[in-house]
Each structure stands twice: as C-alpha cells, then as structure tokens.
Structure 1
Amino acid sequence: MTGTFAVVVAHPDDDALTWAGTVAKHAQEDGFRFVLVQATDGEAGHIRDDFPATRETLGGIRRGECAAAWHAVGRPPDRLEWLGLPDGRLAEMPRIELVERIAAVLAAEAPDVVATFGPDGVTGHPDHIAVGAAADAAFTRLRADGRPGFRRLLHHVLPQTEFDHWQQRRRAQDLPPFDPTSLYHWRGVPDDQIGLTVDCRAVLDRVMAGIQEHRSQLHVLAGPPADVAQLGPIVSHEWATVAWPPQPPGGMLQDVFDRC
C-alpha cells in the first residue's frame, strides 16, 4: 500500500510545476490516492494580447487547463477541490478562514503526505505564501488531534545550486536572469535544507505534456520568450524541505512516501 498524497496550491498550474512527476511515478499503483486542493481559479492571471480570454472567462479556462494537464500526465486527481477563493488576495483573507477551508478537505481525506509551498513561495508570490502557511496550520492541527495519516509535510523548493545552474543557462541564451529579491521571480534555498529529491526523468515527457496544457499562462511559467523547454531541467527532479517530522536519519528521501 502506497498511501494518499495531498497537494495544496494557490493556482491552476502551480501543481504542474511542483508535483506532477511524483504523481506520474505512482499513477498505476493500486494503493495510491491523489488529492488536489486549488485555492483559486487563477482568474486574476495575466492575459496576453493574442489569447482568447477575458477577465470574466479566464478562471473557467484555467480550470479546464488543469483538467487537461492531469489527463496528459496520465493521472487525474481522485479528488480535486476548488475552493473558489479570490486570486491575488489570499494574503488579505482572514487566515482562520483559509485554514478552515483547507482543513475541511484534509480532515476528510486523512492524507499520509501533504505537500504545499514553504515560506518563500518558490517565487515570493503572496498567494503561494498564504496558502502554504494555511496548509501548514491545518496539517499541524489535524496531526495534533491524533487523526490517522498526516505523517509528513513537505514544502516544494528549488535548491540553490539548481537555481544557479538555471541562471547560467538563461544568461547563455541571452535571457534575463531572475532576481530572487523581486516578487514573482524564482528563488533558491540552501542545498543543506533539502530533505527530499525525487528523480522524475523517467516520466519527464508526461510532466512536460502537462505543463504545455496550461496554454493561457505559458508565457508566465517560462518567462520571456515563453520557451517551455527551459523548464525541463527544473521539473526533471522534485525537491522539498521536510517541514514535519524533523529530518529523519538515513540520508536524503527519494520519494514522498519513503520511510513514511
């Protein structure tokens, strides 16, 4: 038996860039259950000039892109919960409301592993940081209640060495480097904080196929000139810090359920 894996994110496409490889690797296992919580529909996302969307229709389009992406990965969620909260304003919400909405789903599913954003939000996005903090609080409360599940809490991150290599590749291609002090720019965390590294190269084609389905936001995901191929090295592995339990002995975890 593998277990239940719950991913809690802020926007459609956050999930595609974080945990699609893990889901693809476990897709055919009978004991695997995948729960996805999307806090918003992504209705406040950027609309490029040549894309057929309006502010009123973008949220629905992005919901459809999310479904298409998981079909491309080969494993739609067993439960996909859309909380319908305001995109771009999660940090302004009463924190208890966001915690309660996430906790309601997690309490019903009792996942073995919960994955979300850490304090850096990967790109510093306030929505990422808010949903990650709320998911942490929900996990901590439910675990303290002695419920089944809740064995591990993960924060998706980008190791500093990988971030540095990406910066070098961008400079070599005459692309602007990211500024990790700026909002919405990628950033790394010190390598010695990494507790999980999942090798996703065997399913990379499926991960990339899922990313390609987020057509409305490809220019945002990859940055100018929207060359999605540059994301390949970044999603060929998945990295996380282990927020709970304290880092166990025995070295780097290689799967979200490893020694769980």
Structure 2
Amino acid sequence: MTGTFAVVVAHPDDDALTWAGTVAKHAREDGFRFVLVQATDGEAGHIRDDFPATRESLGVIRRHECVAAWRAVGRPPDRLEWLGLPDGRLAEIPHADLVDRVAAVLASETPEVVATFGPDGVTGHPDHIAVGAAVDAAFARLRADGCPGLRRLLHHVLPQSEFDRWQQRRRALDLPPFDPTSLYHWRGVPDDEIGLTVDCRTVVDRVMAGIEQHHSQLHVLAGSPADIGQLRPIVAHEWATVVWPPPVPGVMLCDIFDGC
C-alpha cells in the first residue's frame, strides 16, 4: 500500500537529512503523494564567510535550495507549504497557534503517515522541538475529531549505535566529536526505542545529491562543505520511533506504510 506522506520540519535542509530516502523509494508509485511543510525559511541560518548571502537574502536562497534539492532527489513535493514563521524563534510562538497552522495542512491533506521531530529534536534545536510538539498535538486533535487518514505518526531519530559509529568515523577523520549535551549537536536514542528502519542504500546517491543542493548550509551539516561525504553512511538508512499507533514490542517496520 502507498498513500500520502506528510513531513513537517522547521528549516529547509531538515527534510533532506531525514526522509529523502523514503521519498525516493516511493517516488514512482502511482498512489504516492508527498506533502512537505516548512515552518520557516531558514533565514536565521549561519552565513559562512565565502558564501554570497546576506541576512536579508538567506531565506529566499534557502527556499530555492529546498526546491533544487527535491529535484535532485527526483521527486519534488506534491505540496510544499511554507508557513513563513520566524527562524530561531518557533519556541516563542504560542503553542496553540503553531498547532493550528500545522493542523490546517494535515486536515486538508489527510495523510496516512505523518513524520516530524521528537522531543530531542535530533540536535536539541528548540525550533525542531517546538515543531515536533505542535505536530504531535495537531495529529492527536485531528484523530480525536474523526479526521480521516492519520494512521501513523513517526519521529525521526538517530539510533545510539549509529551515533556511536558516526562519532568513531569523525574521530578517524580528525573531526571533533559531537557533544550530545550541547545545543545543535547530534544525539542518539536507545536502539530499543526504534520502531522503523528503512534501508535507503539503493537510493543513497539521490539522497546525497539532494543534500548537496543546500549550498548555504553545507558547513553546518557536516563541519565544512568538503566533509559532506561523511553524511553518506547516516542517510543510507532512516530511523524513527513510532508514536501512533502504540508500537508493538519486538516489531520493526521496514517502510512507513507497513501495516497501514
């Protein structure tokens, strides 16, 4: 079975690092619809010295990078919704307002599967955490109201075992390891909390092609543009905790639509 897959994230490039492989794998299926919601334009992102952007232009640049990235993956979203909220300040927006904005999109699309960030935000980013909490609340509200679809809610995560291997690779490359207690550093979750593992190795070239379109933020994603290849082992799989329906102990899903 396929259906509509809605991904709700905070910034352009969040989507490229989380669900591009799944989208690429379903790209040519007739029944597949891909909805992407970007809460911000990413206008508060870091601007490295050699990149031709200003604080005023960065948001527009990152919007274009997002569109180019999905073209490189080979499957642009059927709907790309920009909420236009302030980058770096999502936690300051009243939670109910953010929930309403997300719920409006989900109610109009009735996706079978919704994916966002969990309480760790993957990197502890307050914007990620705020968006994830809003999606969780919107999903629960719509289900309680009898909205169709909404059969599965996923939180993108990084398993602790994979995080540990990434740390080892970074040390071998003389790159500083992540500090999972620090803001904006990657962190893992216990492996036994993982309920979905998607093998994306057959489409990893397309995933990397998409990531590489985010020219303005390559130094943020990998430490420097030259180090972007270190992400390849990470995006060769996609992992999630299953929030709804309650996960069955010992059952590992291999696709977002398994059992929907």
- TM bucket, shorter chain: over 0.9
Same amino acid, percent of matched pairs: 85
Q: Which runs of 5+ in 1 are unaligned?
A: none
What is the rounded CA distance, in whole Å, between the counterparts of 2:231 and 2:193 in structure 1? 22
Tell me if the contact between 2:199 and 2:254 (Cα under 8 Å) persists in the aligned partners: yes
Q: Which residue identity lines up with residue 251 of structure 1 in the other structure? A: V
- Match of 1:87? 87
Q: Which residue identity lines up with residue 208 of structure 1 in the other structure? A: M
Tell me if the contact between 1:220 and 1:226 (Cα under 8 Å) persists in the aligned partners: no
Aligned pairs (5 A) from 1:57-68: 57-68=57-68
Aligned pairs (5 A) from 1:149-188: 149-188=149-188
SS in 1 for 2:161: helix
Aligned pairs (5 A) from 1:18-167: 18-167=18-167
What is the rounded CA distance, in whole Å, between the counterparts of 2:185 and 2:60 in structure 1? 26
The alpha carbon displacement at 1:253 in A equals 0.0
Tell me if the contact between 1:69 and 1:209 (Cα under 8 Å) persists in the aligned partners: yes
SS in 2 for 1:192: helix
The alpha carbon displacement at 1:146 in A equals 1.3
**TM, length-normalised to structure 2:** 0.98
| 1:16 has 2:13 as partner | no
- Match of 2:201? 201
What is the rounded CA distance, in whole Å, between the counterparts of 1:215 and 1:225 in structure 2? 8
The alpha carbon displacement at 1:147 in A equals 1.4
SS in 2 for 1:149: coil
The alpha carbon displacement at 1:248 in A equals 2.9
SS in 2 for 1:37: strand
Moved over 3 A (4+): none
What is the rounded CA distance, in whole Å, between the counterparts of 2:76 and 2:170 in structure 1? 33
Question: Between Structure 1 and Structure 2, how many residues are aligned?
Answer: 260
Tell me if the contact between 2:3 and 2:32 (Cα under 8 Å) persists in the aligned partners: yes
| 1:215 has 2:215 as partner | yes
Which piece of structure 1 moves more, 60-69 or 215-224?
Answer: 215-224
**TM, length-normalised to structure 1:** 0.98
SS in 1 for 2:239: strand
Tell me if the contact between 1:24 and 1:206 (Cα under 8 Å) persists in the aligned partners: yes
What is the rounded CA distance, in whole Å, between the counterparts of 2:176 and 2:225 in structure 1? 10
What is the rounded CA distance, in whole Å, between the counterparts of 1:231 and 1:126 in structure 2? 23
Tell me if the contact between 2:218 and 2:225 (Cα under 8 Å) persists in the aligned partners: no
What is the rounded CA distance, in whole Å, between the counterparts of 1:193 and 1:240 in structure 2? 9
Which piece of structure 1 moves more, 226-235 or 181-190?
Answer: 226-235
What is the rounded CA distance, in whole Å, between the counterparts of 1:80 and 1:258 in structure 2? 25
Tell me if the contact between 2:20 and 2:73 (Cα under 8 Å) persists in the aligned partners: yes
The alpha carbon displacement at 1:224 in A equals 4.1
Tell me if the contact between 1:139 and 1:150 (Cα under 8 Å) persists in the aligned partners: yes
Instruction: Give the CA RMSD over aligned residues.
Output: 0.9
The alpha carbon displacement at 1:250 in A equals 6.5
The alpha carbon displacement at 1:227 in A equals 0.6
Cα displacement string for residues 103-160 of structure 1 (whole angstroms, at most 9, x for unaligned residues): 0000000000000000000000000000000000000100111111000000000000
What is the rounded CA distance, in whole Å, between the counterparts of 1:148 and 1:194 in structure 2? 26
The alpha carbon displacement at 1:234 in A equals 0.6
SS in 1 for 2:184: coil
